[in-house]
Amino acid sequence: MKYTRGKPVTKDEILSKKPLHILEKIKENLEKLNEKMEVMIELQKHGRKETPALPDASLDVMTLLSMPDHLRKTAMTICRCGRATAEEISQHTNRARAVESAYLNQLVIMGYLKKERKGRKAYFYADRDSQG
Amino acid sequence: MSKIIAVHSYKGGTGKTLLSVNLAAILAKRGKKVCLFDLDFRAPSLFAILKVDNAECWLNDYLNGICDINKVLIDLSSRIQGNGKFFVGLANPATEAIRDISAKDRKWEMRALGRLLSLRNTLLNDQEFDYLILDTSPGLQYSSINAIVTADFVVVATTGDRSDVNGTRRMLKELYNLFEKKTGLVLNKILDSSSKSKKDEMHDKVKALYQVPLLGVVPCFCEILRAEGNFIFVQDKPDHPFTKILDEMAKKLDSNEVN
């Protein structure tokens, strides 16, 4: 598998930095990898048919109505919350964090949501401010 | 518990505005802090019914992002008896404004939904309103669906008319259900609902037909037609049966009986 996100850890780095820091880095990269895999699994599950990959689609009510039920629930919750992590969304929907993470990432790929990383947390939101 | 209630219907002329105004007024009479919004941007009517023509800002301006919601709200508490508060937010009735809002695109509607959703924070949480009542346009259009998505509860007005029954059933299944909204049905302009047996029969029929809770049955009242929308009925006619029916509805909504 091609590894593009995190920088490879060199021998010098291992010697110069604390092991805890390196472990954290590994955990972070594993989480990112896990997220990507969840998205791939979800995409396979739903046969890719609801992924037009529009660059800047709007999350309006007619779009919400036409979505499959599992994605609508996530999209509606993010509309209400404004900006949230997969963990926060999962508390509202009573579904597993990993499931919400996959659906949120799918909505990002479809162009309905934007994703922003802050430290180790990933925040999702509908970009209402962009002009179009 | 404070909440947002949308009043909607499939067809026009089912009595949405009459129900919205009187439901808001009766909740205010019961001591609540209420705000009534006109979301029928294509045919605004609250300004005429409530005889307000001096709005500093319209609800259209708030949704356009050019003014704060507090500039839109008009305090009409003096028109209601008791300690409750009665505010309104009006749609701009000017033809130009109707044309303008009809030509909005999806992106704008998405931002409008965001602004409606944020009313929960600014009005319910920060300013301690008990109820926001949203009067909508009939059928499936952006402003109405935005209101439905924003609301905690949808009051669905319907008549006995065949075309209305059919469309309402479809909306219950294909609109409110998809958004997981709680609904309560109001049967309006109904004949022969005075006796207890007729009432029970009606309840059973509605339950079988729509499979949602019945919030109230409003018979045809000539006095309402005679009033020609000139006053707030529940305020001016406190002893009229219509007022009693609305009071029962408000009680049900307030006690979470229908939720």
Confidence of residue B193 (pLDDT cuts 50, 70, 90): low
| Environment class of A91 (CB within 10 Å of its CB; exposed 0-12, middle 13-18, buried 19+) | middle
Per CB-CB distance under 8 Å, the chain B contacts of A72 are 178-179
Domain count, chain B: 1
Domain extent at residue B41: 3-252
Residue with tokens 């109405």: B144
Contact B114 A128 (CB under 8 A): yes
Contact B149 A69 (CB under 8 A): no
Contact B114 A62 (CB under 8 A): no
Contact A128 B109 (CB under 8 A): no
Residue B258 in any domain: the answer is no
Does residue B16 contact residue B28 with C-beta atoms inside 8 Å? no
Tell me: the pLDDT tens digits for A57-106? 789 999 999 999 999 999 999 999 989 999 999 999 999 999 999 999 99
Tell me: the pLDDT tens digits for B122-140? 999 999 999 999 999 999 9
Per CB-CB distance under 8 Å, the chain A contacts of B134 are none
A24-38, B64-78, B172-186: which has the minimum mean pLDDT? A24-38
How far is residue B209's CA from residue B204's CA, in Å, rounded to a whole number?
A: 9
Q: For position B40, which CATH number holds?
A: 3.40.50.300
Contact A76 B149 (CB under 8 A): yes
| β-sheet bridge partners, residue B33 | B85
Per CB-CB distance under 8 Å, the chain B contacts of A73 are 180
What distance in Å separates residue A6's CA from the closest CA in chain B? 35
How far is residue B93's CA from residue B100's CA, in Å, rounded to a whole number?
A: 11
Task: Please compute the mean of the pLDDT values over residues A30-39 and round it to a whole number.
Answer: 79
pLDDT exceeds cutoff 60 at B155: yes
Closest chain A residue to B152 measured between Cα atoms? A80
Instruction: ipTM value, please give it.
Output: 0.84
Of A69, A80, A128, the CB nearest to B111: A128
How far is residue A113's CA from residue A107's CA, in Å, rounded to a whole number?
A: 6
How far is residue B50's CA from residue B34's CA, in Å, rounded to a whole number?
A: 15
Tell me: the pLDDT tens digits for B198-241? 778 888 888 888 988 889 989 888 888 888 888 888 898 999 99
Tell me: the pLDDT tens digits for B1-49? 779 999 999 999 999 999 999 999 999 999 999 999 999 999 999 999 9
Q: 3-state SS string over B77-117?
A: HHHCCCCCEEEEECCCCCHHHHHHHHCCCHHHHHHHHHHHH
Of A61, A63, A73, the CB nearest to B146: A61
For testing contact with chain A, the best of B3, B104, B105, B110 (most A CBs within 10 A):
B110
Of B106, B149, B179, the CB nearest to A58: B106
More confident residue, A6 or B27: B27
Contact B107 A58 (CB under 8 A): yes
Contact B142 A61 (CB under 8 A): yes
Q: Which CATH number does A11-125 carry?
A: 1.10.10.10
Q: Which two tokens stand for residue B42?
A: 């294509």
Residue B257 in any domain: the answer is no
pLDDT value, residue A1: 44
Residue with tokens 């007729």: B198
pLDDT value, residue B200: 80
More confident residue, B198 or B193: B198
Contact A58 B110 (CB under 8 A): yes
For testing contact with chain B, the best of A61, A66, A94 (most B CBs within 10 A):
A61
Contact B107 A131 (CB under 8 A): yes
Confidence of residue A28 (pLDDT cuts 50, 70, 90): confident
Q: Where are the alpha helices (DSSP H) in B185-227?
A: 196-210, 222-227
Where exactly are the structural domains of chain A? 11-125
Per CB-CB distance under 8 Å, the chain B contacts of A60 are 106-107, 109-110, 113, 142
A69-81 vs A86-93: helix axis angle to the nearest 10?
110
